[in-house]
Structure 1
Amino acid sequence: MATRVFHAPYIAACDALELRAVVARSEGAQPPLPGVALVRDAGALFADPAIDLVVIATPSASHAALATRALEAGKHVVVEKPFALDIAETRALIALAHERARVLTAFHNRRRDADFLGVRAAIEEGRIGRVVHFESHFDRFRPQVRERWREDGSAGSGIWYDLGPHLVDQALVLFGAPESVDADIAALRDGGRASDWAHVVLRYPQMRVVLHAGMCVAGGEPRFRVHGTGGSLVKFGLDPQEGQSVAGLRPGASDWGLDTEPLHLHAGEGEHREIALPRGSQEHFYAQVAQACLGEAQPAVATREIELVQAVIEAAMLSSAEGRRVTLDEVLGA
């Protein structure tokens, strides 16, 4: 799904990249694009001198091992989120990439969501004054546990590893690293073996950031609620790009990335305006990756940012498990 919906069409939209091959584990798999080869063994890709860039879009627990093999083979590497299972794996990969002088980055595509771009612009323009409360939801209604690795309770499964990196990365882009983390992460559905509910609070001086994800939310919550000293922002509905790609729409189409649900600005008691959102452009991630591989720019997602996202993910897991507030320094070892 990750290859078909995100990586293949976004790579195809980048003139500087050509998708050569995909590892297909199952019999009867179809290429995500015409002319793309299917191979059964990742080692064949790592050994191919014609391949410069490898994308790791596999179950979470395999990310570090596969990325290590790709870097050791001299490839540039993009890793799906979560980047790794813990800060130790993350730092080992970053060190290896530095040693081999290879580009290593994480697929934080939702920095280019239409709603996030709109919220970020409104905050930076000072439309609601100083932010005191930022709330970000990524909720779904999937009350039945499914038989798949994301929900089986294995390493790297669960909603916090699946959706948490999106929520955390967007928050860190806006506000930087928090001082500490309070979290409650749980499996609440009948038969649940992996987390399906996460409520995480990032603590900053004079501000709180609430990150929430749940699997039993019918009708949905606002995607963003942002309150400041000069007003509030509210955004309903999810960015459309994933749904558009599933439906067969591709980057470059006239409607691509257009979110018709506006951002609501409440600038005071009874004062309300609707703000049209900029066009979403998740495919820009790969244009920036190509520039980095060619030595023309730095990756959009820097290794320090990857490390900080992983630290917050890990701090939240520790906070939930031990029932206490966890400072980021505890995880980073500062």
Structure 2
Amino acid sequence: MSALPVLESVAEPRPRVSVLLLCFRDADYIRAALDSAFAQTVPCEIIVSNDCSGDGTFEIAEELVAAYRGPHRVHVRKTERNLGVSAHFNDVMALASGEIIVMMAGDDIAYPERVATIVRAFDEHPGATVLGSDFDAIGSHGEPIQVSFRQRPQRYDFDYYVRIGRLIGLLGATMAFRREVYDRFGPLLGPIEDNALSLRGALLGQSLNLRQPLIQYRRHPGSVSGTVFARDEPRALATRRRYERTVQFYRGTADDLEACLRKMPELPRSKRRLAEQVLAMYRIEADAREAILLQPRWRWLGPVLRGLGQRGLRRKSAERALKLLLPRSWFGLR
């Protein structure tokens, strides 16, 4: 946790919702992000945390918070060193006091009704533990853009992951969750937060995806998601970097899910079986991508055969078996 001073604008009583506005290299966007957080119609605790980016983001946020007068309890701080996505999230969670946690990125814009809509959804669905929403995509200058993103069903659990055979959770920038999703299991493992939180939510209850767009989700050069998925890197390197980072991401998510399962001996047997299938899917996919990236072709057979035996991965593994006949360059690797 940062030992740096915290600026605070205090409102009472203590809010039910904590908004975690996490930022890194967002100097061009943090004003719009903070203005949208201040515009929320439900009083919130807003924690603005910069992951030691050194580009002026923290100083801009510090200035805006010092000038803020309104209904929200607002803190601004920065880490003493760069932590990365999950470690930064864990660091800030130690400061949050709300029973509902709302995630926000320093380059996105929340619509004013976002928090109110999230609170109402959790109240109407007491079995839901994690929630996401649709979004409107924008570019660097706020212009509408199209992005490819598979729409989630409105309500889903572990069976959804196995049935569709895709390791995708809710979009982190749209997520909110009940505090127990974190407190029940402790700090996140792995480098990325969204899939781990989605799976924790599935262990404890159900996931919701609201069809209402609640944020403007910004895609731009230098964004965290662009870095994770190598969108901004030269084409010759992008596929390799994406494979390397996905291996780390899948293994970290699997480690987190496995640790959570150990802490839930009371989990019903049917749900545990589904969760273990999802865990196996993450392990197999990580091993398969690592094999394709680094190992001779005969070493690909192990993950392919394991995937063919896994209900959620049969189609993908059959497609991967065909890659045994193709040169690596055909799918972007050297």
- TM-score per shorter chain, which class? under 0.3
- Normalising by structure 1, report the TM-score: 0.27
Greater RCO, CA 8 A, separation 6+: 1
- Normalising by structure 2, report the TM-score: 0.27
More helix, by proportion: 2
